[in-house]
Amino acid sequence: MTAVGSGTDAGFEMSTSSSPPAGGRPAGGPPAGGLPAAGRTGPGVVLLGAVQVTLIFTLMAISVPLPRIGAEFGLGRSALVLLSSAYGLSFAGLLLLGGRLTDRHGGRRLLTVGLLLFAAASAAVPLVPGFGGLLALRFAQGAAAALAAPAAMAVLRILLLSEAAYRRAMAGWGGLSVIGATAGNLLSGLVSTYVSWRWMFAAPVVVAVAVLVLAPRLLPADPPLLLEGDPPRLLPADPPRLLAGDPPPRGRIAALDLRGGVLATAGIVLADYGLAQTRVSGWGAPAVLFPLLTGGALLVAFLLLQRRTRDPLLPPAFLCDARRAFGLAAVLLTAAGTALAFFLLALNLQQQRGWSPLRTSGAFVPYAVALLVGGRVARPLLARFGARAVTGGGVGLGAAGLFVLSVAIAGPPAGYASTLLPGLLLLPLGAAPAFAAAAVLAVEGTPPEQAGLAGGVFNTAMELGPTVGLAALLSLSGDGAPLAAAGGGFALAAVAAIFFPLQRI
């Protein structure tokens, strides 16, 4: 779901490439297969950031008005849980496959396909007459997002060939996810109160169409692809040469691991669905155990297959870097903690305090402001202290916010400013830098030919976090216990960042 920048300029460098040499790239447009001209890099990064924000915004588009949707379609609790999970199920389940398809066929090509499907599904949502159609379209939106999200990160990697510029961009990229989630939560209450929840899907259509129109001018074309068995393609020894900053041809990519794709997708979707059903049934219910155990078995089979496959969907060596593994774990944990806080506080404010959806959304405005502040300070903190230290400090501050919120909702309803507000400020002030720094840890050192893989793995961790966190923590008794447990997880991550070495395994 959900974590940090301050919109489009919080974490991005607006110009990252040097001027082209004399006689090189013509002014006024990108060369075929190359990068936009100097000074055009920034708008391209902003365009890609808008994609990430919109994908997560759409994930949260029905969060607050879900009870109204249930009343409109006559849905029970189980159907509402399925509807709320549909986008995330297909999104998380297909991300690994989407990442490898990106590495195989090119980032801009997959981004175009994903956004076309995303825009079509989003435009159809306001017209849907019944629950079945709405559910199918939410699944379709998630599947399209699974193509677009890793593709956007792959294009970003080509756009910013400099490792330093890429690190700065990723410091803001991680935060864009939380901004999208927060905007989705806030606007869904506002729009559903004054217009209709169906109008929430106008924004995804507008953004997707705008990106499709602007991409040919602002984003680099896909580098040449050499498939296994193709004859070598040699660059001429004399001009025209690759200009400074132009992406080299991608290395050879073998046949797509379709067996791994099926196992990973089915395993993640089934396990994710089983965890989501714990919000309706107990852990021992067949509706939970069957998909959870089946999904787990398929994921084990997937991991075993990856060790024997020549060109695996998820190369085992990719996760054999403790810094990357810790970054992905921190992404998952931070996404889980922030999603849990949103979920429990929305219930507390509406069910225990009797607040309206609009007033509930308004209660998170200070959270959004603190999130923007946290995103603003993330990049200078990273430059001064490094990703590991910022991750540790951020989750430590976030732990304090979760503990404060756990105490606030465990007791009788009291004043908002004296009980909930401190936690609503501390949590995002810590989570925003932590998510930004964890994103850097998760993708740093990734070669351009694995940019789609990195994007798929990063987004998978981010999407699984809320489902795993809600399933595991909501089973705890007591109103404040889940938040306190999440705070404990944040605190352990802070300790790990400080005391444990993060080296290649």
In this prediction, residues 278-298 reach a mean pLDDT of 89
**Residue 228 counted as domain residue:** no
Say if residue 308 is exposed, middle or buried (CB neighbours under 10 Å; 0-12, 13-18, 19+). Answer: exposed
Q: In which domain, by residue range, is 76 found?
A: 7-13+36-218+313-499
Spatial separation of the C-alpha atoms in residues 322 and 324, rounded to whole Å: 5
- Per-residue confidence at 502, pLDDT binned at 50, 70, 90? low
Per-residue model confidence (pLDDT) at position 179: 82
Indicate if the pLDDT at residue 8 is higher than 70: no
Phi, psi torsion values for 252, nearest 5 degrees? -65, 135
- Per-residue confidence at 281, pLDDT binned at 50, 70, 90? confident
Does residue 132 share a domain with residue 146?
A: yes
Answer for the pair 413, 347: CB distance below 8 angstroms, yes or no. no
pLDDT digits (tens, 9 = 90+) for 11-34: 343 333 333 333 333 333 343 344
pLDDT digits (tens, 9 = 90+) for 456-475: 898 888 888 887 887 788 77
Return the closest-CA partner of residue 157 out of 247, 84, 239. 247
Structure tokens at 49: 């950031």
**Residue 115 counted as domain residue:** yes
Per-residue model confidence (pLDDT) at position 255: 62
Cα-based angle 454, 441, 333 (whole degrees, multiple of 5): 90
Final residue of a structural domain among 269, 289, 312: 312
| Residue 226: strand pairing partners | 252
- Per-residue confidence at 505, pLDDT binned at 50, 70, 90? very low
Greater pLDDT, 18 or 342: 342
Return the closest-CA partner of residue 419 out of 480, 357, 368, 473. 480
Stated as kind and residue range, the H or E segment containing 226 is strand 225-227
- Per-residue confidence at 254, pLDDT binned at 50, 70, 90? low
Does residue 375 share a domain with residue 299?
A: no
pLDDT digits (tens, 9 = 90+) for 426-459: 999 999 999 889 989 988 877 777 888 888 898 8
Q: Give every CB contact of residue 116 below 8 A, 6+ residues apart in sequence.
A: 144, 208, 212
Greater pLDDT, 63 or 72: 72
Q: Give every CB contact of residue 37 below 8 A, 6+ residues apart in sequence.
A: 20, 25, 27, 28, 29, 30
Does residue 402 share a domain with residue 283?
A: no
Does residue 331 share a domain with residue 270?
A: no
Of 33-37, 119-123, 125-129, minimum mean pLDDT range: 33-37
pLDDT digits (tens, 9 = 90+) for 132-169: 999 999 999 999 999 999 999 999 988 887 778 888 88
Average predicted confidence (pLDDT) for the chain: 81
Return the closest-CA partner of residue 362 out of 194, 475, 244, 497. 194
Does residue 366 share a domain with residue 290?
A: no
Final residue of a structural domain among 293, 312, 331: 312
Does residue 201 share a domain with residue 68?
A: yes
We report the CATH number of the domain holding residue 208 as 1.20.1250.20
Q: How many other CB atoms are found less than 10 A from the CB of residue 481?
A: 15
Stated as kind and residue range, the H or E segment containing 253 is strand 250-253
Does residue 320 share a domain with residue 331?
A: yes
Structure tokens at 76: 């029970």
Does residue 262 share a domain with residue 289?
A: yes
Indicate if the pLDDT at residue 72 is higher than 80: yes
pLDDT digits (tens, 9 = 90+) for 385-411: 999 999 999 999 999 999 999 999 887
Q: How many other CB atoms are found less than 10 A from the CB of residue 407?
A: 15
**Residue 43 counted as domain residue:** yes
In DSSP notation, 22-37 reads: TTSSPTTSPPTTSPPP
User: What is the total count of domains within the chain?
Assistant: 2
Does residue 290 share a domain with residue 428?
A: no
- Per-residue confidence at 248, pLDDT binned at 50, 70, 90? very low
Residue 364 DSSP symbol = T
Final residue of a structural domain among 312, 331, 354: 312
- Per-residue confidence at 309, pLDDT binned at 50, 70, 90? confident
Does residue 209 share a domain with residue 71?
A: yes
pTM of the model: 0.78
pLDDT digits (tens, 9 = 90+) for 33-53: 444 544 467 889 999 999 999
In this prediction, residues 68-72 reach a mean pLDDT of 86
Does residue 177 share a domain with residue 96?
A: yes
Greater pLDDT, 290 or 23: 290
**Residue 225 counted as domain residue:** no
**Residue 466 counted as domain residue:** yes
**Residue 21 counted as domain residue:** no
Does residue 414 share a domain with residue 290?
A: no
Answer for the pair 137, 128: CB distance below 8 angstroms, yes or no. yes
